[in-house]
Chains A and B, each alone.
Chain A
Amino acid sequence: DVKVTQSSRYLVKRTGEKVFLECVQDMDHENMFWYRQDPGLGLRLIYFSYDVKMKEKGDIPEGYSVSREKKERFSLILESASTNQTSMYLCASSISGQGKEKLFFGSGTQLSVL
């Protein structure tokens, strides 16, 4: 089975801190994604990557950046955490193939910014 591992299940940070969320997948998937999930808003795409060192902005990239130095690892960076970034962050990966996209999600990181 595909495994997508997120480094922390719960994280508490202070306003202004730099925050790193790590995600590792073990199935050699090309595509990796970062979503945030908020009540009533569903999943919103922050950033995604189709290849090593490649990144593209999603729908809500402001205040975030990403890094993909290795195929299996996709990091989300909050440059200066703010309270409105308190959320559940979900990493996902998928293999390429037109019409065959199945997202495999990690277990999520619940981030609280105080």
Chain B
Amino acid sequence: QKEVEQNSGPLSVPEGAIASLNCTYSDRGSQSFFWYRQYSGKSPELIMSIYSNGDKEDGRFTAQLNKASQYVSLLIRDSQPSDSATYLCAVSRPGSARQLTFGSGTQLTVLP
């Protein structure tokens, strides 16, 4: 079993729709959770971090965390073509918050 699993996609949504990206993780001791966005040919950049159960909103982005279910998600409201990218879920390792385990990413395409 992979430590951090994401649906590889590709996921396509029409412009203006809500894109929902999901991630599950295997280690219950993980404490910090991150979403990175990676445009084609570019390096990843952090877009959201979440540390406690519930929702965290930042503009059009909402991260949701459920530690009991070991599940973290990213919602993108009013999706734009510029949101087309690969989204990487990253989870900190228990006892070593500085080390992250990444999922393989979900490729999102927003259709104009």
A103 touches B31 (CB 8 A): no
Size of the A side of the interface (Cβ < 8 Å), in residues, is 23
Option from B43, B88, B98, B104 in Cβ contact (under 8 Å) with A101: B98
Residue of A nearest to B51 (CB): A99
B75 to chain A, nearest CB (A): 21
The B24-67 residues at the A interface (CB cut-off 8 A) are: 31-32, 34, 36, 42-46, 49, 51
Please report the C-alpha to C-alpha distance between residue A98 and residue B93 in the assembled complex, in whole angstroms: 12
Q: In the complex, which residues of chain A have a beta carbon less than 8 angstroms from the beta carbon of B97?
A: 98-99, 101
Option from B34, B45, B98 in Cβ contact (under 8 Å) with A105: B45
How does the 8 Å CB contact mask read for B75-112 relative to A, with 1 for contact and 0 for none?
A: 00000000000001010100001111111110000000
A107: CB under 8 A from chain B? Answer: yes
Residue of A nearest to B4 (CB): A42
B98 touches A107 (CB 8 A): no
B105 touches A42 (CB 8 A): yes
Q: In the complex, which residues of chain B have a beta carbon less than 8 angstroms from the beta carbon of A107?
A: 42-43
Dominant SS at the B interface? strand
Q: In the complex, which residues of chain B have a beta carbon less than 8 angstroms from the beta carbon of A25?
A: none
Please report the C-alpha to C-alpha distance between residue A45 and residue B49 in the assembled complex, in whole angstroms: 20
Option from A42, A50, A94 in Cβ contact (under 8 Å) with B102: A42
Q: Point out residues on A near B: beta carbons under 8 Å.
A: 31, 35, 40-45, 48, 50, 58, 90, 94, 96, 98-99, 101-103, 105-108
22 contacts between A and B (CB under 8 A): A31-B98, A40-B8, A40-B104, A42-B104, A43-B44, A44-B102, A45-B100, A48-B98, A48-B99, A58-B99, A94-B98, A99-B31, A101-B34, A101-B92, A103-B36, A103-B46, A103-B100, A105-B43, A105-B44, A105-B45, A107-B43, A108-B43
